């Protein structure tokens, strides 16, 4: 099913490499892979409220009700960041999962994107064990959990070339979209065409925030 996504606003991101986004109910958090920081922003105008030191190649970001979880793109790991102290107080190693491009919290499970393999990994944060591995779209970016579904920005169709170590288009007509995914089987439920691949994505109520690295902007959208 295809539905309409409408951009209702935007503001300039604080850093040079905006990626993962997360909403904690009051603050919009934005991970920046060039600055090595996670910025706490005002969701209306993007004003910086807080800045956390967070080195590494930062990708996805999520809020679990008490702390942030940050995925590190090329280090096969996610870590929990205490926003009050800036401590990294938990780490989950994801050996053999390749590029980790997104992370989401559904209230019990952490969902992680294994980008090169087109997989969604369900991880128990207490035991640190892999609970499920779902086949899904290739080249998926950051994800979020909202109203029973996972959401992601994707570029399709793409394939990963092991020899060159990069993604290639599998068609002469590339498409970008924000997709709604069923976490039970990894299948796409709805598809919302957009103009670009967004490196960060999160819901704040019924408002969708998306980070676009090339333009260094955070876009505000609604879906109907």
- Whole-number Å distance between alpha carbons of 118 and 160: 9
The whole-model pTM stands at 0.94
* Confidence band for 43, pLDDT divided at 50, 70 and 90: very high
CATH number of the structural domain spanning residue 44: 2.130.10.10
Number of domains in the chain: 1
Q: Which domain holds residue 150?
A: 5-223
- Whole-number Å distance between alpha carbons of 180 and 126: 27
Give the pLDDT confidence of 166-206 residue by residue, as tens digits: 888 888 888 999 999 999 999 999 999 998 899 999 999 99
- Whole-number Å distance between alpha carbons of 222 and 224: 7
Give the pLDDT confidence of 73-123 residue by residue, as tens digits: 999 999 999 999 999 999 999 999 999 999 999 999 999 999 999 999 999
- Whole-number Å distance between alpha carbons of 43 and 11: 9
């Amino acid at each position: 099913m295809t539905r309409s996504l409408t951009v209702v606003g935007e503001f300039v991101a604080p850093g040079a490499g905006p990626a993962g986004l997360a909403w904690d109910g009051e603050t919009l958090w934005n991970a920046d892979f060039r600055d090595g920081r996670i910025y706490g922003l005002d969701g209306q105008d993007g004003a910086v409220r807080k800045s956390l030191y967070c080195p590494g190649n930062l990708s996805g970001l999520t809020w679990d009700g008490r702390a942030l979880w940050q995925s590190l793109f090329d280090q096969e790991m996610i870590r929990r960041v205490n926003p009050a102290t800036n401590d990294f107080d938990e780490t989950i190693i994801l050996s053999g999962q390749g590029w980790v491009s997104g992370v989401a919290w559904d209230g019990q499970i952490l969902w992680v994107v294994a980008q090169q393999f087109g997989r969604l990994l369900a991880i128990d944060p207490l035991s640190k064990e892999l609970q499920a591995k779902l086949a899904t779209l290739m080249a998926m970016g950051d994800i979020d959990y909202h109203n029973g579904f996972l959401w992601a920005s994707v570029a399709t169709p793409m394939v990963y070339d092991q020899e060159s170590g990069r993604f290639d288009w599998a068609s002469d007509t590339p498409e970008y979209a924000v997709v709604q995914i069923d976490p039970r089987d990894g299948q796409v439920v709805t598809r919302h065409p957009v103009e670009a691949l967004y490196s960060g994505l999160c819901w704040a109520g019924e408002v969708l925030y998306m980070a676009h690295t090339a333009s260094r902007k955070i876009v505000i959208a609604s879906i109907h």
